[in-house]
Every structure is written in structure tokens, then in C-alpha cells.
């Protein structure tokens, strides 16, 4: 099975921004405000935000309803 065939478990801020058609900074602000559940991995300020698939899908679905 190819990596593309596997269901996505986590999203990066960049991936979610592309899927939603918004800027990376907008998604970061949504995470910081708690509207998207995410966690930071990696050291210090250069860590990478990752968003669980359930949270990303819920946020994307909510945006479609508005």
C-alpha cells in the first residue's frame, strides 16, 4: 500500500491551509485561539504544529456549512 492510499492521521498547518484555501497564518491563529485542536512537536519556536485528522475534518466541514 502506497503512502497516498493510507488515510491521513495528522495534518500540518500548511496542508490544512491548502485544503481550506486560506493562509497558513490564518490556520495558526485558529489553532492558537483553540478553534482547531492541534499540538506542537519539535523544539522551541521552530516546532511544527500538527492537527489530528478528526479536528481538521471537523473544522473543514464547519467552514463548508458557513
Determine, yes or no, domain membership for 4: no
CATH number of 27's domain: 1.10.1660.10
Residue 2 inside a domain? The answer is no
Q: What domain range is 51 assigned to?
A: 9-65
Check residue 28 and give its pLDDT. 92
60: in domain: yes
**Where residue 1 falls among pLDDT bands split at 50, 70, 90?**
very low
pLDDT at 25: 93
| Phi, psi of 13, deg, nearest 5 | -60, -40
pTM: 0.80
| Span 5-61, pLDDT tens digits | 556 799 999 999 999 999 999 999 999 899 999 998 887 777 788 999 999 999 999
Number of domains in the chain: 1
Q: Where would I find the H helices in 1-66?
A: 13-20, 24-32, 53-65
The span from the CA of 22 to the CA of 3, in Å, is 25
Does the residue 37 lie in any domain? yes
CA atoms within 13 A on the CB side of 61: 6
Amino acid at each position: 500500500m502506497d503512502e497516498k492510499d493510507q488515510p491521513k492521521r495528522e495534518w500540518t498547518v500548511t496542508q490544512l491551509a491548502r485544503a481550506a484555501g486560506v493562509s497558513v497564518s490564518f490556520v495558526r491563529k485558529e489553532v492558537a485561539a483553540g478553534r482547531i485542536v492541534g499540538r506542537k512537536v519539535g523544539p522551541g519556536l521552530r516546532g511544527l504544529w500538527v492537527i489530528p485528522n478528526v479536528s481538521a475534518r471537523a473544522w473543514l466541514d464547519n467552514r463548508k456549512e458557513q
